[in-house]
């Protein structure tokens, strides 16, 4: 699996978990298989299907 394929899978699941269909890959500040430390203006999520933790910019979480 290439990094591009992995990032596409992370983005697809992140859109479902965050309930934000407009989420972009550049809105995901960080992704890891271990826990992430929180930073200002970021929201943390866990993607259970892939087993990855992500940090998303707070202003990018706006719903449709």
Q: Given this model, what pLDDT does residue 1 score? A: 82
pLDDT band at 36 (very low <50, low <70, confident <90, very high): very high
% of the chain residues with pLDDT over 90: 83
How far apart (Å, rounded) are the C-alpha atoms in residues 21 and 41?
A: 20
Supply the pTM of this predicted model. Answer: 0.84
How confident is residue 62, by pLDDT bands cut at 50, 70 and 90? low
pLDDT at 59: 72
Structure confidence by residue, pLDDT tens digits, 44-55: 999 999 999 999
The neighbouring-strand residues paired with 15 are none
Q: Which domain holds residue 19?
A: 3-61
Number of structural domains the chain divides into: 1
């Amino acid at each position: 699996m290439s990094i591009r394929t992995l990032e596409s899978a992370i983005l697809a699941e992140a859109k479902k978990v965050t309930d934000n269909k407009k989420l972009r890959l550049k809105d995901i500040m960080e992704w890891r298989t271990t826990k992430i430390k929180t930073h200002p203006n970021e929201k943390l999520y866990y993607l259970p299907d892939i087993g990855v933790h992500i940090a998303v910019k707070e202003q990018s979480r706006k719903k449709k």
